[in-house]
Amino acid sequence: MSTFKDKIDISRLPKHIAIIMDGNGRWAKERGYDRIYGHQNGVISVREVTEAAAEIGIEYLTLYAFSTENWGRPQHEVDALMELLIDTIEKETPTLNKNNISLMAIGDLSRLPLEAGKKLKKCIDQTAQNTGLKLVLALSYSSRWEITNAILNITTDIGLGKLTQSQINDELISSYLTTRSIPDPDLLIRTSGELRISNFLLWQIAYSELYFTNTHWPDFRKESLYEAICDFQNRERRFGK
């Protein structure tokens, strides 16, 4: 049986794949469970997709794990998500090292509970020397937060005389975003059927290919990622030219 993996042209891989992991709550509800059960199962997909990306040689994988707006969810759900985050990061650090994967994080990390922030930093430090896949977690992230922050920092630097107005261009703005060391996504995936961006990487996805699937995140597996990559490879990117 031929698989999507076999159809991928390894010489034309997307360098950076970003994913809006959506549908955990609906997945659980359809099975008569609490939303938290969906988040727990979503972790299995995170593991699978990370492994799949590393296996074929993707350079950057960004996962939208928690948005600035998600702080507005019921407290017990926020708490469960934070606990799941700490647990997973701690448990997965050896596997990340084994697979030569380094962890990075983008977002307003100062809002994370102290313990979560510490464990996150520890895992980032412990995997920093790895040279394979870069796994970027978007945590307490929103694009408008990021852009607002960039404008604040640019105007501050102008005030301090470190920067002049005439230096402001596309590249300079990119360098003030939390994604400064990360290339723009080539492919953006959203699971679970919603056709929106929900405040994710608005600046960075200017020319990304968008892929939407009805599959809920806890059902998204290695072959689902490979299918999205095959779809991407059938597109013609023109960049306005």
Contacting positions for ligand IPE (CB under 6 A): 20-26, 64-67, 70, 81, 192, 194, 196, 198, 217
Contacted by 5, from Mg ion, ligand IPE, none: CB < 5 to 8 Å by type:
none
CA distance 59 to 220: 20
Which residues, listed in sequence order, are joined to residue 222 by a DSSP beta bridge? none
Q: Which is the catalytic residue, given 6, 9, 22, 199?
A: 22
Strands 187-190 and 134-141: unpaired
CB of 171 to Mg ion, least distance (A): 33
Contacted by 103, from Mg ion, ligand IPE, none: CB < 5 to 8 Å by type:
none
| Overall residue count recorded for the chain in this entry | 241
Structure tokens at 133: 């896949």
Our CB check for ligand IPE shows the closer of 8 and 105 to be 105
Our CB check for ligand IPE shows the closer of 81 and 154 to be 81
CB of 1 to ligand IPE, least distance (A): 31
Our CB check for ligand IPE shows the closer of 34 and 231 to be 34
CA distance 100 to 13: 19
Contacted by 92, from Mg ion, ligand IPE, none: CB < 5 to 8 Å by type:
none
Which residues, listed in sequence order, are joined to residue 49 by a DSSP beta bridge? none
Tell me: does residue 92 bind Mg ion (CB under 5 A): no
HEC string of 113-139?
CHHHHHHHHHHHHHHCCCCCCEEEEEE
Residue 13 per-residue DSSP state: -
Query: Which positions ≥6 away from 98 have C-beta within 8 Å?
Result: none
SS3 31: coil
Q: Which of 22, 146, 209, 227 binds Mg ion (CB under 5 A)?
A: 22
Task: Name the residue whose CB lies closest to ligand IPE.
Answer: 25
Structure tokens at 117: 């922030």
CB of 184 to ligand IPE, least distance (A): 19
Contacted by 235, from Mg ion, ligand IPE, none: CB < 5 to 8 Å by type:
none
Q: Which contiguous run of DSSP H or E holds residue 7?
A: helix 4-7
CA distance 52 to 14: 13
CB of 123 to Mg ion, least distance (A): 25
Q: Are 140 and 112 in contact (CB under 8 A)?
A: yes
User: Is residue 70 flagged as an active site residue?
Assistant: yes
CB of 19 to ligand IPE, least distance (A): 8
Our CB check for Mg ion shows the closer of 30 and 90 to be 30
Give the binding site for Mg ion (CB under 5 A): 22
